């Protein structure tokens, strides 16, 4: 598939794919076209047997500076309703393989929200996160008021959404929004390292573990525990479970086959 607004490398490392948002002049502002391509690319990589983990990145200056303000500015509410841009986001959210965001520079508005749809986040020391929509007369619309409080707690989410202030990578780490902060020259490599570590594990176990963690945001504890338990039991139907446990007992490295 050829894309105009993103670059896709399905094998940047063994079993690891890379998606790079690629509208550098606009600081990777997320227009409808880019989001549609991102959805299509994630769907294709999700279906690709040679891909186990996906890294999503922008460039050093910006992961993404938010939804494309110039594209939205003249629209009225009915236009917005008809275009319903966030349906694309719902589809992106359904990606089954782990997605790691590698963030440098601005991750603002929809850019910060896109980071939060990813499963793990590696940030460069220069990364800045924020929900500045309030400064342009609107508010977060792609999950900022819902995922942010779950990630950083109520008061921090309120401060970000109600003032539009940015937070540094260091603060984002302290608040639990990112997994690790590294110097700018290392953020992509660090994301590949994390991706490669996960890519060596049983893809079916990884998939069900991701699904179970995400379930915890949607359910109460009892229902979530029930869901987790069924996924745990289901893994005993896989060859990878037999291989993983046999390898432990035989004191050797496992060779997972995704079966």
* Residues with catalytic function: 67, 110, 113, 133
CB atoms within 10 A of CB 231: 17
**Total binding residues toward ligand CAA, as defined by CB under 6 A:** 21
Is 132 among the residues that bind ligand CAA (CB under 6 A)? yes
DSSP letter for 251, please: T
Is 109 among the residues that bind ligand CAA (CB under 6 A)? yes
User: Could you tell me which residues come within 8 angstroms of residue 52 by beta carbon, excluding any fewer than 6 positions away?
Assistant: 15, 16, 97, 98, 198, 199, 203, 206, 258
Query: Quick one: which of 67, 118, 120, 206 contacts ligand CAA (CB under 6 A)?
Result: 67
Determine the Cα–Cα distance for residues 234 and 251; give it in Å rounded to an integer: 25
**Closest to 53 in 3D by CA, of 13, 7, 93, 107:** 13
Query: Quick one: which of 8, 21, 54, 66 contacts ligand CAA (CB under 6 A)?
Result: 66
Largest CA distance in the chain: 65
Is 141 among the residues that bind ligand CAA (CB under 6 A)? yes
In the bound complex, what is the minimum distance in angstroms from residue 5's beta carbon to ligand CAA?
13
Query: Quick one: which of 3, 22, 26, 40 contacts ligand CAA (CB under 6 A)?
Result: 26
Tokens 């869901």, residue?
227
Query: Which positions from 1 to 20 touch ligand CAA by CB under 6 A, shown as an x/- string?
Result: --------------------
Residue placing its CB nearer to ligand CAA in the complex, 132 or 203: 132
Interacting residues with ligand CAA between 190 and 219 (CB under 6 A) = none
Residue placing its CB nearer to ligand CAA in the complex, 12 or 161: 161
Residue placing its CB nearer to ligand CAA in the complex, 148 or 178: 148
Cross-strand bridge partners of residue 13: 16
Two tokens, residue 2: 């050829």
Is 142 among the residues that bind ligand CAA (CB under 6 A)? yes
Query: Quick one: which of 65, 92, 160, 167 contacts ligand CAA (CB under 6 A)?
Result: 65
In the bound complex, what is the minimum distance in angstroms from residue 71's beta carbon to ligand CAA?
7
Given a contact cutoff of 8 angstroms between Cβ atoms, the answer to whether 95 and 167 are in contact is no
Is 140 among the residues that bind ligand CAA (CB under 6 A)? yes
3-state helix, strand, coil in the chain (%, to 5): 50, 20, 30
DSSP three-state, residue 67: strand
Strands 120-124 and 180-182: parallel
Is 68 among the residues that bind ligand CAA (CB under 6 A)? yes
Strands 166-168 and 128-130: antiparallel
Is 21 among the residues that bind ligand CAA (CB under 6 A)? no
CB atoms within 10 A of CB 239: 13
Residue placing its CB nearer to ligand CAA in the complex, 136 or 246: 136
> Which residues would be at the binding site for ligand CAA (CB under 6 A)?
26-27, 29, 65-70, 106, 108-110, 113, 132-133, 136, 140-142, 144
């Amino acid at each position: 598939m050829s894309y105009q607004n993103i670059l896709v490398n399905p094998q940047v490392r063994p079993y690891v794919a890379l998606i790079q948002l690629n509208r550098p002049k606009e600081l990777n502002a997320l227009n409808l076209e880019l989001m549609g391509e991102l959805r299509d690319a994630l769907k294709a990589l999700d279906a690709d047997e040679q891909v186990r983990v996906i890294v999503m990145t922008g460039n050093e200056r910006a992961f993404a500076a938010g939804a494309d303000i110039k594209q939205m500015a003249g629209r009225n509410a009915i236009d917005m309703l008809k275009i319903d841009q966030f349906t694309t986001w719902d589809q992106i959210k359904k990606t089954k393989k782990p997605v790691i965001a590698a963030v440098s520079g601005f991750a603002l508005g929809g850019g910060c929200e896109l980071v939060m749809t990813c499963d793990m986040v590696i940030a460069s020391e220069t990364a800045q996160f924020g929900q500045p929509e309030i400064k342009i007369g609107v508010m977060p619309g792609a999950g900022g008021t819902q995922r942010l409080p779950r990630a950083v707690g109520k008061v921090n989410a309120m401060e970000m959404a109600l003032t539009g202030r940015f937070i540094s990578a260091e603060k984002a780490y302290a608040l639990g929004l990112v997994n690790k902060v590294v110097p700018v020259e290392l953020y992509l490599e660090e994301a590949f390292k994390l991706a490669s570590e996960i890519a060596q594990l049983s893809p079916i176990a990884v998939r069900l573990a991701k699904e179970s963690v995400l379930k915890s945001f949607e359910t109460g504890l009892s229902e979530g525990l029930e869901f987790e338990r069924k996924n745990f039991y289901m893994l005993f139907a896989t060859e990878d479970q037999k291989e993983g446990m046999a390898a432990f007992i035989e004191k050797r490295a496992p060779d997972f086959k995704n079966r």
